[in-house]
Amino acid sequence: MSAALDPADFRDAMARFVSGVTVVTTRDSNGNAVGFTASAFSSLSLNPPLLLVCLQKDADCHAAFMEAEQFGVSILAQGQSAIAVRFATKAIDKWDGTRSVPGRATGIPLIDGAAARLECRTHSRADGGDHTILIGEVLTADANGNEPLLHFNRSFGRFVEDDGA
68 binding ligand FMN? (CB under 6 A): no
Q: 110 and 100 in contact (C-beta within 8 Å)?
A: yes
Site for ligand FMN in 91-150 (CB under 6 A): none
CA distance 65 to 76: 20
122-128 long-range CB contacts below 8 Å, 24 or more apart? 122/68, 122/69, 122/70, 122/71, 123/48, 123/50, 125/66, 128/54
Whose Cβ is closer to ligand FMN: residue 35's or residue 103's? 35
SS3 of 64, please? helix
Binding residue (CB under 6 A) for ligand FMN from 61, 110, 116, 134: 61
Nearest to 120 by CA among 95, 141, 100, 99: 141
Whose Cβ is closer to ligand FMN: residue 138's or residue 150's? 150
> Which of these segments, 48-56, 95-103, 119-127, 138-146, binds ligand FMN (CB under 6 A)?
48-56
Number of residues interacting with ligand FMN: please give it, by CB under 6 A.
18
CA distance 123 to 117: 18
Binding residue (CB under 6 A) for ligand FMN from 54, 68, 83, 150: 54
Whose Cβ is closer to ligand FMN: residue 54's or residue 138's? 54
Return residues touching ligand FMN (CB under 6 A): 21, 36-40, 54-56, 59-61, 84, 87-90, 151
